[in-house]
Amino acid sequence: MQTKQFLSPADIAQELGISSATVLRMIHSGELPAILVSERIYRIPAASFEMYKAGTLRVASAAPLGRVKRRPRLAQGEVLPVAAAAARGAAVSRARR
């Protein structure tokens, strides 16, 4: 049987023996991680629920400082729209000729 990747609040309620309203309160308080897939519809990643049951959900803490590095260039590999400008410029030049 394939394991479900996401659970509904009703699934969680059934497994924990609590009401769906209580599950929603847990989501709203941040006690249980969930994703809002559409207006008012939550899904709980199965992995999050496993961590919740095991008591292994992480609490945010300050990230460590790293070492000094060369400044990265973000989105490397993305073609910048300079080529588009050049192409437009060439087209305008051709039209003017």
- Binding interface with another protein (CB under 8 A): 5-6, 33, 35-38, 45-48, 50-51, 57-75, 78-82, 84-85
Backbone angles phi, psi at 14, to 5 degrees: -65, -45
For another protein, give the closer residue by CB, 22 or 31.
31
CB-CB contact of 12 with 23 (8 Å) = yes
C-alpha 21/C-alpha 1 separation (Å) is 29
CB of 20 to another protein, least distance (A): 20
CB of 85 to another protein, least distance (A): 6
